[in-house]
Amino acid sequence: MSLCTVSELRSALGVGTLYPDATLQSSCDAADATIIPMLWSSTQFAVAHSNEVGVGTLYLDIPTTNVFYVGQSVTVANCGTKYNGAKTITAVNDYSISFVTTHTTAQSRHPIEPYGTILGDAYTDFTADAAVQEAALMIAVDIWQARQTSNSGGSSPDFQPSPYRMGNTLLARVRGLLAHTLDPRSMVG
């Protein structure tokens, strides 16, 4: 999912064909990496995993029986190469889910640090949400401009100049645009 396209960024910056697409794409990708984790989705977090021959189990710190179901397709990331990718759930227990893997040995439960992610069905297409697209474009522009003129700085909430444009106010400048889509779990602190 790309919230901000190269052509949108190119147009907003007014750079024409001065820079190759790959150079502009890195700012678009960074904007996506900044915003997408903040958006509300059906993502759950795997805190540990274990395996038997041919079966992998992911453990969560929330009850899973009302979240996942046998036969559901999920996308697993950051849990190890044999766990990552599209998986079909074969068993759901109180705090774990299992699915077929390519493990050839058994291994007891051990933690995943940082936590892995398990993404269930997506019900919202954020690429069709104009406010989310505008927020992504604004962040991509800020990232691009910070890279091009590193001393340009930004402004803090009290309108004082800030030497670092990519500081804690980066998301604060677009939080109003994202308010209707923010995941309550992402707003800690």
Q: What element of type H or E holds 116?
A: strand 107-119
Q: Which CATH number fits domain 43-119: 2.40.30.20, 3.30.470.10, 3.40.190.80, 3.40.50.1000?
A: 2.40.30.20
* Rounded Cα–Cα distance for residues 111 and 59 (Å): 9
CA torsion through residues 71, 41, 56, 67, sign: negative
Tell me: the pLDDT tens digits for 111-126? 999 999 999 988 888 9
- Residue pair 127/4 in contact by the 8 Å Cβ criterion: no
How do beta strands 107-119 and 73-77 pair?
antiparallel
Q: For the chain, what are the domain ranges?
A: 6-39+124-186, 43-119
Closest by alpha carbon to 99, among 68, 66, 62? 68
pTM recorded for the entire structure: 0.74
Tell me: the pLDDT tens digits for 14-36? 998 889 999 999 999 999 999 98
